[in-house]
Amino acid sequence: MENYLHYFGAALGAALAVIGAGLGIGRLASAALEGTARQPEMAGDIRTTMIIAAALIEGVTLFALVICILLALK
């Protein structure tokens, strides 16, 4: 049984990383939409900032997933 615990740990870590990224990007998009609704003239700047932040979140998530996969192969 203990030979397969690293697979469970890697899967749990990957799941938490993906769930966290999904929640973070969802909250980011919600705030960007609210900001655009309050100040429509700033829509371009808000969109640019949102895309940069979403890319950073996705990059960290990808890094976490790679670490989880490497731990599963150990």
Instruction: Give the Cβ contact number of residue 48 at 10 Å.
Output: 10
Q: Look up the domain containing 26 and give its range.
A: 2-73
**pTM for this prediction:** 0.85
Question: What CATH number does the domain containing 61 carry?
Answer: 1.20.20.10
pLDDT at 2: 60
The rounded average pLDDT for each run of 10 residues, N- to C-terminus, in the chain (74 residues) is 81 95 97 96 96 97 95 85
Q: How many domains does the chain have?
A: 1
pLDDT at 5: 86
